[in-house]
Structure 1
């Protein structure tokens, strides 16, 4: 007959927890200044591209919108259209955020009244 090894002792809840080592703080971690620098650099690149776009699209075009009509450089017309689209998206997004906030407030109020 072969001998079986004894079962392992049950772990007790009072055993000291293994101390987890916190990683050393990275001296090159992200900072607000670094984030600002990245944003400013990106903005500068976009600005240079925008200046090139405007310089290459100076021909005048006729624009008609509803009862308005006139002539303007192509770059200005295109940039105005982009600005209008961005504004429309911002308005729609703002309205959706307000709608969701109102819905959350109502749900919290209903939960408070029910509980």
Structure 2
């Protein structure tokens, strides 16, 4: 029994930074592969820029919503009664809901931080020599 010997083909002799091209007229000419280190990285400034654009678009949509809903609505809240445009009323309700969610999530974050601090103190006390 003889073992089959593999001979290197033309693809095997190319450096790792180039790959052969396919197609008519290419004739196996190597094409450089882009280096991953040359690609732009995400930065905080770039992320803030994208977030600003999204915020501007959302603000524009909110303004259009309010302008299209200017009919007055009577609002009854606890002992108060007042009249506001429908768009403003709905926007105020959404902001109030967002504040409630923010307060609940803030309470949860504080709870988790206190738990983590207690855990760190217990762990530090257990690992001290003596």
Quick check: 1:70 aligned with 2:82? yes
For residues 110 and 33 of structure 1, the distance between their equivalents in structure 2, rounded to whole angstroms, comes to 39
Q: Which digits, 9 at most, give the CA deviation of each residue in 1:93-113, with x for residues without a partner?
A: 111000011001111111222
Q: What is the match of residue 101 of structure 1?
A: 113
Aligned to 1:79: 91
Structure 2 alignment gaps of length 5 or more: 2-34
Q: Which runs of 4+ in 1 moved over 4 A?
A: none
After superposition, the Cα gap between the structure-2 partners of 1:28 and 1:113, relative to the gap in structure 1 and judged at 3 Å, is closer
- What is the CA–CA distance in structure 1 between the aligned matches of 2:48 and 2:108, rounded to whole Å? 28
Cα separation, 2, equivalents of 1:111 and 1:30: 36
Task: Give the match for residue 6 of structure 1.
Answer: none
1:41 aligns with 2:50: no
1:48-71 Cα deviation digits (max 9, x unpaired): 101110111000000001101110
Match of 1:32?
A: 44
Higher relative contact order (CA 8 A, sep 6+): 1
Q: TM-score, normalised by structure 1?
A: 0.74
Give the aligned CA root-mean-square deviation in angstroms.
1.7
What is the number of residues matched between the two proteins?
Answer: 94
User: What SS does structure 1 have at the residue aligned with 2:109?
Assistant: helix
* Local SS of the residue matching 1:30: coil
Q: String of CA shifts for 1:1-44, please: whole Å, max 9, x gaps.
A: x9xxxxxxxxxxxxxxxxxxxx6423422233322221121111
